[in-house]
């Protein structure tokens, strides 16, 4: 690879990092609109953090109205659904957020509002996800709102 090509790729990479940073900054301002460092901002930060911890602990399916009331939804960059604890995917048909991975538990029998994504888990060892249309999934990141 010649020097000019490397310089060009480096500029593209820096521009992408800057774009993603600005996008994240806007999402955080929407999630907690108070002035940074104020008491209202600190209280909002605690509220948002508790909502995100609740997501990781309970791994609920969050349907459209509640999703937009409690969280700021950001698309996660990447082409594929990568399951990880606390990660979510959105069903583009109904707008529900579904966990990308669930912990082992006695019973977990959940699905999105339209039934495109269905989690089935029984007696700690049997776990299965059924997806009707993989094209209708988008990995997302949820940021807890302060109000």
Bridge partner residues of 91 (DSSP): 137
Q: What is the pLDDT of residue 19?
A: 93
Q: What do you get for the CA distance between the two ends of the chain, in Å?
A: 51
> Would you state the pLDDT for residue 103?
74
pLDDT at 111: 85
pLDDT of the chain, 147 residues: tens digit per residue: 789 999 999 999 999 999 999 998 998 888 988 888 888 889 999 999 999 998 888 888 899 989 989 999 998 876 667 777 788 999 999 999 998 887 777 777 788 989 899 888 887 677 788 888 888 888 998 999 987
For residue 64, how many C-alpha atoms fall within 13 Å in the half-sphere facing its CB? 7
Count of residues making up the chain: 147
> pTM here?
0.80
Q: What is the largest CA-CA distance in the chain?
A: 59
What is the predicted pLDDT for the residue at 119? 84
pLDDT at 79: 64
Q: What are the DSSP calls for the chain, one per residue?
A: --HHHHHHHHHHHHHHHHHHHHHHHHHHHHH--SPTTSHHHHHHHHHHHHHHHHHHHH---B-HHHHHHHEEEEEPSSSS----TT-EEEETTT--EEESS----SEEEEE-TTSSEEEEEETTTEEEEEES-GGGEEEEEEEE---
């Amino acid at each position: 690879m010649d020097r000019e090509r490397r310089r060009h790729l480096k500029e593209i990479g820096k521009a992408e990092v800057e774009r993603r940073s600005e996008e994240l900054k806007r999402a955080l301002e929407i999630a907690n609109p108070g002035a940074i460092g104020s008491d209202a901002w600190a209280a909002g930060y605690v509220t948002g953090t508790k909502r995100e911890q609740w997501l990781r602990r309970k791994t609920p399916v969050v349907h459209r109205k509640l999703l937009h009331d409690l969280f700021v939804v950001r698309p996660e960059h990447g082409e594929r659904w990568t399951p990880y604890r606390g990660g979510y995917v959105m069903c583009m048909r109904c707008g529900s957020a579904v966990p990308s991975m669930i912990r082992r538990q006695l019973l977990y029998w959940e699905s999105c509002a339209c039934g495109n994504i269905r989690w089935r888990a029984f007696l700690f060892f049997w776990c299965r996800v059924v997806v009707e249309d993989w094209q209708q999934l988008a990995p997302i990141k949820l940021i807890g709102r302060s109000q």
